């Protein structure tokens, strides 16, 4: 299982959407890494096209759902 997680850059820190705005930005679980990566590419493409999220949001696939102590990926 893989989790598609959207991270937002807020006040100098990358924070998972699960904690920024859970309704609509929570992580999504996929059965395979391949499926997660496909959706990650689609999400990043659309985030980059958005004026609002172009430079401050990124999608990544993780092996677990993030919690408050999960370190953010290095972007």
- pLDDT tens readout for residues 1-21: 999 999 999 999 999 999 999
Question: What average pLDDT score do residues 26-53 get?
Answer: 97
- pTM of the predicted model over 0.95: no
Q: What is the mean pLDDT of residues 19-38?
A: 96
Residue 75 is predicted with a pLDDT of 87
Q: What is the mean pLDDT of the chain?
A: 96
Q: What percent of the chain has pLDDT over 70?
A: 100
pLDDT of residue 59: 98
Which residues, other chains included, contact 36 with Cβ-Cβ below 8 Å and sequence gap of 6+?
Answer: 2, 3, 4, 30, 61
């Amino acid at each position: 299982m893989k989790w598609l997680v959207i991270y937002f850059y807020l006040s100098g820190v990358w924070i998972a959407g699960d904690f920024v705005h859970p309704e609509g930005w929570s992580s999504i679980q996929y059965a395979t890494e391949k499926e997660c990566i496909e959706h990650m590419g689609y999400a990043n493409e659309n985030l980059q096209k958005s004026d609002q999220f172009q430079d401050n949001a990124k999608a990544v696939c993780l092996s677990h759902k993030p919690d408050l102590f999960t370190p953010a990926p290095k972007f």
